[in-house]
């Protein structure tokens, strides 16, 4: 099994070079013939350094959009992320100051400057004390039904649903385009 780093990891599963791939739901399309099972939902939070000059006690949507953001793009694409696509559908846009490929470097980068990062809460809280970060819950929602705004929904995808619970509503097979 390979952790999802590039969209081509699905190709390894399709070709039989890997039994499964784990990735954030919504970041890539799953090829036809694969099964997907949701693993967890980790609510998104914002992190800034403790003494960030542009952030008060709470983080409003207006402030969020004005700040310079650290964007995480595991697939290596320079286009809009899943979160950015949802914001664009609502006529909103955040300012991207820096893009990195890995979630784990985001807390360290944020701790050293004035960027804001939108991260899974578990990752943010894991590093907050050691790096002097403030973890800010969203006081707004860009769309109640959108996991892109509410959390990191990870899933496992594989060629067979034999390992998935029978009749699980979260299990689904992708269909041909």
Considering the domain boundaries, does residue 83 fall inside one?
yes
Residues 135-156 have pLDDT tens digits of: 998 766 554 444 555 566 666 7
User: What's the sign of the alpha-carbon dihedral 38, 153, 148, 6?
Assistant: negative
Range of the domain at 73: 42-148
For residue 175, tell me if it sits in a domain: no
| Domain presence at residue 143 | yes
Q: What integer pLDDT is reported at residue 106 of this predicted model?
A: 96
Give the start-end residues of each E strand in 5-73.
20-24, 35-49, 68-72
- Which segments in the chain show pLDDT lower than 70? 1-9, 23-30, 75-77, 139-155, 157, 159-177
Classify residue 129: in a domain, yes or no.
yes
Residue 133 domain-assigned (yes or no):
yes
What beta strand segments (E) does the chain contain? 2-3, 20-24, 35-49, 68-72, 95-100, 116-120, 133-136, 151-158, 172-173
Q: How many structural domains are present in the chain?
A: 1
Question: Is 165 a domain residue?
Answer: no
pLDDT digits (tens, 9 = 90+) for 22-50: 766 654 566 777 777 778 788 889 999 99
Report pLDDT for 110.
98
Q: Which tokens is 29 given?
A: 């399309």
Residue with tokens 């979160």: 83
CATH number at residue 142: 3.40.190.10
Q: Is residue 115 a part of any domain in this protein?
A: yes
pLDDT for 160 equals: 66
Any domain includes 176 = no
């Amino acid at each position: 099994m390979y952790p999802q780093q590039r969209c081509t990891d699905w190709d390894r599963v399709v070709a039989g070079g890997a039994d499964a791939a784990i990735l954030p739901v919504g970041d890539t399309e799953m090829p036809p013939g694969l099964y997907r099972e949701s693993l967890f939902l980790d609510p998104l939070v914002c992190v800034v350094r403790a003494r960030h000059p542009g952030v008060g006690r709470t983080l409003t949507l207006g402030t969020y959009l004005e700040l310079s953001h650290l964007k995480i793009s595991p697939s290596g694409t320079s286009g809009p992320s899943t979160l950015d696509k949802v914001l664009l559908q609502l006529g909103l846009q955040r300012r991207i100051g820096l893009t990195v490929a890995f979630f784990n470097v985001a807390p360290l980068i944020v701790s050293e400057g004035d960027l804001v990062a939108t991260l899974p809460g578990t990752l943010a809280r894991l590093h907050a004390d050691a790096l002097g970060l403030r973890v800010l819950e969203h006081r707004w929602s860009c769309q109640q039904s959108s996991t892109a705004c509410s959390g990191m929904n990870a899933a496992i995808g594989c060629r067979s649903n034999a390992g998935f619970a029978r009749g699980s509503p979260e299990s689904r097979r992708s269909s041909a385009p």
